[in-house]
Structure 1
Amino acid sequence: MATLSASPSPNPNPNFRSPTDQTDHDPESLPHMELHPSSDQDPTPTPKSNPNFPAVLPTPPKAIAPAAAAAPSLLHISFNQDHGCFAAGIDHGFRIYNCDPFREIFRRDFDRGGGIGVVEMLFRCNILALVGGGPDPQYPPNKVMIWDDHQSRCIGELSFRSEVRSVRLRRDRIVVVLEQKIFVYNFADLKLLHQIETIANPKGLCAVSQGAGSLVLVCPGLQKGQVRVEHYASKRTKFIMAHDSRIVCFALSQDGQLLATASSKGTLVRIFNTVDGSLLQEVRRGADRAEIYSLAFSSNAQWLAVSSDKGTVHVFSLKINGGSPGIDRSQSASDPVTSPHSSLSFIKGVLPKYFSSEWSVAQFRLVEGSQYIVAFGHQKNTVVILGIDGSFYRCQFDPVNGGEMTQLEYHNFLKPEAAF
């Protein structure tokens, strides 16, 4: 496999600087790789010896290429690992945005082709994983390109026999998801460590823990409704029959000990302990079928957010007793201890389970039918919502009284005037 690099930028941006808002992350632990001289074999990136690893994406240049003057076509959106930033893959490059305060912090426009169908950030560092997409892809859709924006070029690649559905990054691992297989690589040298077979997985469902501990990976199992949990520290595999229907969405808490799942019915969301597979809690999004687009835990695993095609984002209160070590589950007297229940729950033994379900504490209404993903903001009791139409919402919910969330901010990040 020959080495492939993107077209060099005429104005490579070297102005990376040390992080100021990631005190819990050691910059020296982040991978920084350089490519060996090209050959016909796979590139073998190696760790760079410079300890002063640049880790914050720079402010973009004010000059915008003529090709970017029109609103781009959005191919992909995703949050980074701590939900402080998000990436957008467009028809001629990619862009990186900060969530709070909202601003575009970086963009890369490619001269030829340029469609990027997957952009996976590594917290806030200059290393990204890119996969081509759209009608005119920048790279083949069966390759993962490791892009170093400090050097304005690709420094490694991983090639496969079928299209890449998604990529997940940790500081120590690269996880590549295909239709029916998942590959886990060591980040430092791209050595293959593990491969997993799954049921058909066209959405590329996969979640990895981002805490300081060992890797926990969740993916679809080999049966409908089943999820597979890999605990790499203990070398244990756990299979959980989460639903009767096909799994369409799941999310891990940061430490990998809690798992939220949703099926194609889209009515119930279940929360499991990943260690023993036990069901800890079940919450209800609604009574009618819906397509769940995203699930997200808050950083302290006290809240769970859900977005669906019904145009409503829900926030549920989690009551996980004795949660993970290191998760602060303490609550003040004014904090809620339960989610709302149906007023008919007193006859739950007679009526269907629907009437005794736990309902969301807070909601935010959006355009029904549009696709949105959700995450918790860094400010207390805030939620960030991204739409495939380019919409950005930041909202706040009342943890005691619940109800409708308050909209704090709205932007369309695809509009040219939004760039600065």
Structure 2
Amino acid sequence: MSIPTQITDETNSGGVFFVNFNQDCSSLSVGHRNGYKIYALQSLEGTSNGLECIHEHTGEEICIVERLFSSSLVAIVSLSAPRKLRVCHFKRGTEICTYSYSNTILAVKLNRSRLVVCLEESLYIHNIRDMKVLHTIRDTPPNQLGLCALTSSSDDCLLAYPGSSTIGEVQIFDTVNLQAKTMIPAHDSPLAALGFSPSGANIATASEKGTVIRVFSVTDGTKLYEFRRGVKRCVSISSLTFSTDSQFLCCSSNTETVHIFRLEEPKDLPKQNTDEGGWMDYLSKAVSAGATYLPTQVTDVFTQGRAFAVAYLPVTGVRNVLAITTIQRVLRLLVASTDGNLYIYNLDTVEGGDLALVKTHRLNGTSQTPESEAQQQQNQNQQQHIITTPTGSDTTGGAVLSSYAGIVKGHPAGTMSGTDSDKLHEMAAAVDIPPKDGFRFDDEEEFPPVSQPFTF
């Protein structure tokens, strides 16, 4: 997820700048004006005070906080130092290393093999086991949204980012062999969102128009699915996410609607006469028969898939991220929003349709059922939610920190935290000798070994 647009106090009293789920949707990270929090998602019933907060850091405004699976490793960027990345072991309260870059950090992506830092016109690929820079992709097309995606699986370890700033090309880069792999011509308009499937085999894309969602094979760029989000209006899509079982794809925008699409092979319609099939069946057959005589735009509308299910948010105009995952044997849609709430919906995999909001968790530790929040929502509706951007543009998540960005020549400089001998001894004591099969990042006691300063 890229850095959200600027948020006024009227928009969000919680002062939330950043929300994102970790790679396996077991936790939610929230960056806000007073620091950051990490919430556990194993039980969405939470406690009497709401979601279980497994870690909280206070003292500064955090605009990016990314957790590596269920480990204690987090990557942090603050508003006061938008060009500096800090990698920390949050359970021990230890800062492992810091890196400074030539421009504002727009996004950070990580898996068990790589950590990627996205700037507006370059990407830095680190080996997460020692945090050394393996490769730098320079002079990328201007990417003010910080759009990029990294496969959660480290087997192939693929990186995706915009290949053009004028059309919707997706560049797939192999971060293991450090070479470009595939260029996918996804849309005619510039990209607005993209996301890998859990296995990394497929990638979903959306353009600035926001009307069509496409899914491609990463191997050869073949288009596998095409869905129409809507035809009435163009929107700013901010999140594209596959379910953890890869059966569904969901998308959210600056509107109140979240669309969920089922990923299944199209089924042949049973042969039936016009009366049995109704006017839509007749129209579909007519379109199929006359496809060669109709404009492509017309036939596309009838051949694109439609949403399997729809969820309606109680707010509009705020940035959010999505997850579809099974928790306590129930498939849930989770919507974490920069309005300071986590919205929870049950997803009926048979019927689909309109999803019911079952609970809202305030990301300050409280929870509400739809009934208890009805009065509060009525009061909130009296105050219109507003998001502003530095340029007055839409709410697709532009580079809010561009005003902070200073241009510094040279390569990113990486240093260990602390320069005195006591700090070095403390860091050395926190690092074990790497086992032969590498570090297990699902173990919260382990993290990348850093035993000496890095200078570039």
Specify if TM > 0.5: yes
Rounded to whole Å, the distance in 1 between the matches of 2:196 and 2:245 is 12
- If each structure's helix is expressed as a fraction of its own residues, which one has the higher value? 2
Map of 1:156 onto structure 2: 97
Map of 1:261 onto structure 2: 205
Is 1:119–1:129's contact at 8 Å kept on the other side of the alignment?
yes
- Of structures 1 and 2, the one with the larger relative CO (CA 8 A, separation 6+) is 2
Name the CA shift for 1:342/1:298 in 2 (closer, same or farther; >3 Å): farther
Map of 1:213 onto structure 2: 155
- Give the AA of the match of 1:357: Q
Q: Does 1:358 align with 2:302?
A: no
SS at the partner of 2:302? helix
Is 1:250–1:259's contact at 8 Å kept on the other side of the alignment?
yes
Map of 2:141 onto structure 1: 199
SS at the partner of 2:52? strand
Rounded to whole Å, the distance in 2 between the matches of 1:95 and 1:320 is 40
Q: Does 1:372 align with 2:315?
A: no
Name the CA shift for 1:303/1:417 in 2 (closer, same or farther; >3 Å): closer
- Give the AA of the match of 1:347: A
Map of 2:72 onto structure 1: 126
2:185 aligns with one of 227, 235, 241: 241
Name the CA shift for 1:320/1:357 in 2 (closer, same or farther; >3 Å): closer
Comparing 277-286 and 376-385, the one that deviates more: 376-385
Offset of 1:225 from its aligned partner? 1.1
Map of 1:316 onto structure 2: 261
Map of 2:358 onto structure 1: 408
Map of 2:169 onto structure 1: 226
Map of 1:289 onto structure 2: 234
Identity of aligned pairs, percent?
30
TM-score, with structure 1 as normaliser: 0.72
Rounded to whole Å, the distance in 2 between the matches of 1:400 and 1:302 is 12
Name the CA shift for 1:243/1:128 in 2 (closer, same or farther; >3 Å): same
TM-score, with structure 2 as normaliser: 0.67
Offset of 1:342 from its aligned partner? 6.5
Structure 2 gap segments, 5+ residues each: 1-11, 45-50, 267-278, 368-456
Map residues 293-304 of structure 1 onto 2, 5 A cutoff.
293-304=238-249
Offset of 1:146 from its aligned partner? 0.6
Is 2:244–2:325's contact at 8 Å kept on the other side of the alignment?
no
Name the CA shift for 1:417/1:308 in 2 (closer, same or farther; >3 Å): closer
- Give the AA of the match of 2:56: R
For each residue in 1:303-358, what CA deviation from the matched residue of structure 2 results, as whole angstroms up to 9, or x when unmatched?
Answer: 1011112211111011269xxxxxxxxxxxxxxxxxxx966433332444223321
Is 1:216–1:232's contact at 8 Å kept on the other side of the alignment?
yes
Is 1:342–1:355's contact at 8 Å kept on the other side of the alignment?
no
Rounded to whole Å, the distance in 2 between the matches of 1:152 and 1:71 is 28
Is 1:259–1:274's contact at 8 Å kept on the other side of the alignment?
yes
Map of 1:277 onto structure 2: 221
For each residue in 1:255-303, what CA deviation from the matched residue of structure 2 results, as whole angstroms up to 9, or x when unmatched?
Answer: 2110000000000000000110111110010012011010111122211
Larger radius of gyration: 2
SS at the partner of 1:381? strand
Rounded to whole Å, the distance in 1 between the matches of 2:361 and 2:58 is 25
1:75 aligns with one of 13, 17, 30: 17
Name the CA shift for 1:342/1:87 in 2 (closer, same or farther; >3 Å): farther
Structure 1 gap segments, 5+ residues each: 1-69, 322-340
SS at the partner of 1:355? helix
Name the CA shift for 1:311/1:77 in 2 (closer, same or farther; >3 Å): same
Rounded to whole Å, the distance in 1 between the matches of 2:93 and 2:127 is 23
- Give the AA of the match of 2:16: L
For each residue in 1:169-212, what CA deviation from the matched residue of structure 2 results, as whole angstroms up to 9, or x when unmatched?
Answer: 11221110001111101112221112223211122111111125
- Give the AA of the match of 2:349: P
Name the CA shift for 1:342/1:203 in 2 (closer, same or farther; >3 Å): farther
- Give the AA of the match of 2:325: G
Offset of 1:241 from its aligned partner? 1.1
Rounded to whole Å, the distance in 1 between the matches of 2:286 and 2:338 is 42
Is 1:395–1:406's contact at 8 Å kept on the other side of the alignment?
yes
What is the RMSD of the two structures over their aligned residues, measured on CA atoms? 2.3
